[in-house]
Chains A and B, each alone.
Chain A
Amino acid sequence: IAGITQAPTSQILAAGRRMTLRCTQDMRHNAMYWYRQDLGLGLRLIHYSNTAGTTGKGEVPDGYSVSRANTDDFPLTLASAVPSQTSVYFCASSPDSAGANVLTFGAGSRLTVL
């Protein structure tokens, strides 16, 4: 099924642990994004990638890192998780970085940091 796959679906994590959220798309989209969604704050951009090999910082990048080794994969890593990173994380993609493009989202990863 064409689209975006995220893993894990949910995870409970102890503070201080390292965690990688995986995101894979099979639509050959150039641009990919990571958002977090918190109650009352809406979706906020963490990091993005316009094309394989490039990444950029979004609105709330601190504590997160990404890599884009190829077109399909865009993992998000929390080097040392903190409770404030408890959130729902959505990976998204678009054909390219033009603003008129529509975003396609993955099903989300619900992360709880204790």
Chain B
Amino acid sequence: RKEVEQDPGPFNVPEGATVAFNCTYSNSASQSFFWYRQDCRKEPKLLMSVYSSGNEDGRFTAQLNRASQYISLLIRDSKLSDSATYLCVVNLNTGNQFYFGTGTSLTVIP
């Protein structure tokens, strides 16, 4: 079983739409959670860390559900520039054990 699983998509949404991605993780000892964004043929870049209480950064909201072992990312008012692959990342906090999902592809359509 993979440590981190994501729906690969693709998600094709119109501009202005709200879209949500979920990611599940298998190890209940996981302590740190992140969403990274990766543009085509580029390196992953941190979008946001995910905190237990949930957190928001502008149009982006991340939530963590430890009981069900999933994290989510909500994007409101989608922009063309949001088109990218979104990677879910989980860490056990034991050092070096970052586990990456395979990514969810989002295309925002004019």
Interface residue B17 (Cβ < 8 Å from any Cβ of A): no
Interface residues on B, range: 20 to 34
Instruction: Take A100-B31, A100-B32 as given contacts and tell me if A56 and B45 are in contact as well, using a CB distance cutoff of 8 Å.
Output: no
**A41 to B101 Cα, complex, angstroms:** 8
**A41 to B2 Cα, complex, angstroms:** 10
Within 8 A of A (CB), among B37-64: 41-46, 49
Interface residues on A, range: 20 to 34
Interface residue B70 (Cβ < 8 Å from any Cβ of A): no
B46 touches A42 (CB 8 A): no
List residues of chain B with CB within 8 A of the CB of A44: 100
Choice from A42, A90, A99, A107 contacting B92 with Cβ under 8 Å: A99
Choice from B4, B87, B94, B103 contacting A99 with Cβ under 8 Å: B94
Interface residue B95 (Cβ < 8 Å from any Cβ of A): yes
List residues of chain B with CB within 8 A of the CB of A102: 34, 46, 49
**A98 to B49 Cα, complex, angstroms:** 14
B102 touches A99 (CB 8 A): no
B49 touches A99 (CB 8 A): no
Pick 16 A–B contacts, CB within 8 A, sort by A.
A33-B96, A33-B98, A43-B44, A43-B87, A45-B98, A48-B96, A58-B96, A99-B91, A99-B95, A99-B98, A100-B93, A102-B49, A103-B36, A103-B98, A107-B43, A108-B41
B binding-site residues for A, Cβ under 8 Å:
4, 8, 31-32, 34, 36, 41-46, 49, 87, 89, 91-98, 100-103
